[in-house]
Structure 1
Amino acid sequence: PFTLRDKGMKHMVGKNWRDLFDLVIVQAGKPNFFTDRRKPFRKLDEKGSLQWDKINQLEKGKIYKEGNLFDFLRLTGWRGSKVLYFGDHLYSDLADLMLRHGWRTGAIVPELETEIRIINTEQYMHSLTWQQALTGLLERMQMYQDAESKQVLLEWMKERQEIRSLTKNLFNPQFGSIFRTFHNPTYFSRRLVRFSDIYMASISCLLNYDVNFTFYPRRTPLQHEAPLWMDQLCTGCMKTPFLEEMVHIR
């Protein structure tokens, strides 16, 4: 209800919080808001009481209840890629808007904060770097089939598997990262990329960027492509250094 939202926003933002928004809609009834045309918009007065006047326009500073996406589009003219919509559920919030209406979408993933913190630890970076180095060494050196070389390769494979398990367990001992299973993206990660143009841990992350900042998609190399820029280089893709060149990593 509006009274609860109003008290919460006044506490977090200030008594004039409505000035920051072009429109305020409460109790929209998602996900039916996006698919059901039957519920019209209704206006609430300052006390939160429902008014029954027909809504012919949506005004800044007013509070509206329920409604539906089709009336919203008609009354605002906000269509297609001009709209960036944020939600915290891929299917009930983002999928229909992106697939059926062409809106830009942003996903809020609170777990991302913890994952980024782990990724930035020295233990994770060290483990992942050495894992990639071992992978490259195995790819390059497996052509040597003498007994001594085979023994070294077996030791490398064992160590690589141990490091893979270690890096996975850093996120969660039961199922690892919500974004990646070893080198593969998880089902959630693939759906996230499919239904969102951008994702972040909190909407407040955007405070780090200018209002005119443009986010460009990163080009991810395919398996047959060699990465050409530093943030996508991996040891196993291009020239693999010899062991003596990797000593400093260990």
Structure 2
Amino acid sequence: MSVSMLSTFVKPMHREGIPFVAGFAAATLVLFWIWEPLGWLGLGLTVWCYYFFRDPKRAVPLNRGLVVSPADGLVSLIGPAVPPPELGLGPEALTRVSVFMSVFNCHVNRAPVAGRVTAVAYRPGKFLNASLDKASEDNERNALAIELDDGRKLAVVQIAGLVARRIVCWTKPGQTLRTGERFGLIRFGSRLDVYLPAGIMPQVALGQTCVAGETVIAVLGQDAPQRMASED
């Protein structure tokens, strides 16, 4: 198998996944010792765990003014919503784009824009199905406010889901992020919300598949209408 073919199927794994994969692998050896069919089941789960924590390279667009998806997954919600109050962005509703990640998506989260992180706020909560609208308010979440060069702010929120039980964020207030830079992950199925600056329309449609760090979900500084799409 060529190097290019190998890289298509074998992706690097994020270090956060090492203890989990090691645990699955150890359990698999025990299961093989107990009963071989159980061992093969354990092997399949070990491969899935490795795949879950994959961290592939992405071709991040360098054009100024682009807002990229912070997560792999499907656009599940688009509409006005008030950003988390703990970020201090005010009571006015902004356009929110929600990307839902299944347990089969890559779960490494990437910064949607370049800018300075002005706030990072964690809030405990429930573990409802992350595809539900009320998950934004009720579920465990970790929210970031990012200030752009022109002073406007954008919010990105990590939301735990029905299976997810751990939000990881490596970013601190005052840190400067590049567009597409890794800032965290959520373990085992969840959602990312992006609250766009006032007046900015999303350039993705409901049901569209997004790739973290690559898919453009909005364009800043342009009076572009909201993108529409149809299934084919």
TM value normalised by structure 1: 0.23
Please identify which structure carries the higher helix content. 1
TM value normalised by structure 2: 0.24
Please identify which structure carries the higher strand content. 2
